[in-house]
A and B are shown apart, each in its own frame.
Chain A
Amino acid sequence: MQTTNTEGAMLQTATATIDWLIIAPVVTPLVAAAVLIIFRRSVSLHPLLTLLALGFNIFASYLLLMRVQAEGPLAMTMGNWLPPFGISFVADLLGAILTLTSSVAVFCVALYGMGDASSRERRFGFYPLILTLLVGVNGSFLTGDIFNLYVWFEVFVISSFGLIVLGGTTKQLDGAVKYCFLTLVATTMFLIATGYLYGLYGTLNMADLSKIIGPLPFQGPLVVVSCLYLLAFAMKAAAFPLYFWLPASYHTPKIAVSALFAGLLTKVGVYALIRTFTIVLPPAGQSWLMEVMFYVGVLTMIAGALGAVAQTELRRLFSFLLVASIGFLLVGLSLGTEAALSATIFYMVHSILVMCGLFLLAGLLFSYRGSLDLRTLSGVNKDIPLLSGLFLLLVFMASGFPPFSGFWPKLMLISETMQQEAYLGTGTIIFSSFLSIIALGRAYAFACWRPAVDAAQPLIEGQKNSLNGFVRLQFLPLILLLLVATAIGILPGILFDFTTGGAKGLLDSSAYIAAVFGGAQ
């Protein structure tokens, strides 16, 4: 073998085998998805292969995180081309943490899908689609090129289109149309903004953009581009006033799919906002645009929490809580200090795990009770005490009670808003947490403590037995998620180290730039 004679345009340093960790979280699920598509008829093979690939993915993401923690950002430029021209993958702490968390969340959903996805749905590609969704999500977290980020957005968006219509009922198609339309508008705006960016600066490599735009003043076309990015990503993240599509569509697909969407998709929007307004467009991150984002975040939190209180359908209630959590993340990002960014990253990890958990819980409730309407859902405490206990745990986690994972980032951000004298933020965080407690507490009390309201509703004995086998297995992913979230809550210091490092890396992009261009200099 020999390489072509284009040495001048290519990197000359050898790539260590260990550096391949950076593409493992993307290539592993991609190859696994391809294999599953080849053997699309052997549906009994699908769950096992998926879990195997995802298990390996978690392992590789963990190794990647450890390596990034030890040695700083890691970069690889595809095809051996020099960085601004080749497409770079860059893993900094933010990307590596989110890659690991999303791999864990998808693993749990795949495990849940073993009992939930029918063989018809498997033949229609349930497992390949969740794998390609993970490919897109992990690719977004790891890419160092803003056009490539758009491509990964498309990858997971297309996969999510496939997943959202998996059952093919009218209600699902209705939800899918709302979801698809809004997503298409958002990604188109993203593409337009990226086109402008390329026209202005002639490069799309994030590290290169950071170098060029860093010293520029925030004025002229840069403002337009930044506003477009804010609009596109805020729409994708379901921020006020463009959040209405989320509660209107997330309760329609299969519950495992809802869990996946709730855990991951909006977070990618928030991730893109964080990445663009810190590394890619540093001047925008210090401008009045952040004030806009602050108010957007405040309004999102209030709208989400109020919406949650008003809902009677459990999945819609959780969707509104998800919107409220997005508001929290936006407030954190808009403050832009190290502590605030650290709290934001921490809360993202917490939110991925807990939102996924809440929706899986809804799935378990549905499989026992056949309804998620709080007017009829009842008597869970007496019939299925384990489920009731898990629900209570999730209520504590999602509303941010002290020993659990939601508490720490909220505490950090509240103290940071007070230091920044953004008292509106402080008040809103407390107010929206308070409303979340009311919404979740009410849901818990109705579903679990209230004696069964309808005599016909508790499961018939035979049905109970037939369900028992897989329902017990389905407890496993939820328990797994809750274990991880509880561990984070009890030992916040471990995650805190990563998030602080991640926040530092976002505010000072020199290590990020050096990682990308290091091989070329």
Chain B
Amino acid sequence: MNTLILRTIVPILTSLMVIYSIIVLLSGHNQPGGGFIGGLIAASAFALYGIACGVAPVRRALYFHPISISGFGMFLAALSGFPSLYEHVPYLTGLWWFPEIAKGVEVPLSTPLIFDIGVWLVVVGSLVSIALALEEKV
């Protein structure tokens, strides 16, 4: 798929899709979205980039091997349950904290968010590795 139109538009499209996937990931707790769907969007962005510009640039851009990324996601998701140990509540209990970054601006952070980021990474890593392997073969 080495067409000029696609190659011109894809870098912009890919960055937009990755940004959108992060928005979907972050809004996931209270609105539709979350790690899984966000991960799918990001993975399709990388797959699209691979189709237009070849697999090697995607691998270079990701820096880490996709499987390692998904391993890190799994690690993060499993670890997100451990702050509960400190609070004497069962594993994977949702804990929140609200640091004030500026006057009156609170950022709600939580362990479910860490879990979701883990899911996002697992989905991105595994789907990108499958997609890139398929694109390499073609």
> Could you list which residues of chain A lie within 8 angstroms of chain B, going by C-beta atoms?
1-4, 11, 14-17, 19-20, 23, 27, 30-31, 33-41, 76-80, 86, 128
Say yes or no: A37 contacts B88, CB within 8 Å: no
Q: B16 interface residue, CB < 8 Å from A?
A: no
| Distance, CA A36 to CA B97, complexed state (A) | 31
- Contact residues in A for B79 (Cβ distance below 8 Å): 31
Say yes or no: A1 contacts B91, CB within 8 Å: no
Most buried by B among A27, A31, A80: A80
Residue of A nearest to B95 (CB): A1
| Distance, CA A77 to CA B92, complexed state (A) | 9
Say yes or no: A15 contacts B88, CB within 8 Å: yes
Q: Select which of B65, B71, B91, B97 is within 8 A of A78 by beta carbon.
A: B91
Say yes or no: A40 contacts B74, CB within 8 Å: no
- Contact residues in A for B87 (Cβ distance below 8 Å): 1, 3
- How many residues of chain B have a CB within 8 Å of chain A? 25
Say yes or no: A79 contacts B94, CB within 8 Å: yes
Shortest distance between the CB of A156 and any CB in chain B (Å): 16
- Contact residues in B for A38 (Cβ distance below 8 Å): 68, 71-72, 75
B39-74 interface (Cβ within 8 A of A)? 65, 67-68, 70-72, 74
Say yes or no: A3 contacts B78, CB within 8 Å: no
Shortest distance between the CB of A45 and any CB in chain B (Å): 13
Say yes or no: A34 contacts B95, CB within 8 Å: no
Say yes or no: A76 contacts B78, CB within 8 Å: no
Query: With A14-B88, A17-B88 in contact, is A3–B94 under 8 Å at CB?
Result: yes
| Pairs of residues from A and B, 6 with the lowest C-beta to C-beta distance, nearest first | A37-B71, A34-B75, A34-B74, A80-B93, A38-B71, A14-B88
- Contact residues in A for B70 (Cβ distance below 8 Å): 37
Q: B96 interface residue, CB < 8 Å from A?
A: yes
Q: Select which of B67, B78, B96, B97 is within 8 A of A30 by beta carbon.
A: B78
| Distance, CA A267 to CA B74, complexed state (A) | 27
- Contact residues in A for B89 (Cβ distance below 8 Å): 3, 11, 14-15, 80
Q: B85 interface residue, CB < 8 Å from A?
A: yes
Q: B35 interface residue, CB < 8 Å from A?
A: no
Q: B81 interface residue, CB < 8 Å from A?
A: yes
Most buried by A among B67, B83, B93, B96: B93
| Distance, CA A27 to CA B90, complexed state (A) | 13
Shortest distance between the CB of A39 and any CB in chain B (Å): 8
- Contact residues in B for A37 (Cβ distance below 8 Å): 67-68, 70-71, 74
Shortest distance between the CB of A150 and any CB in chain B (Å): 18
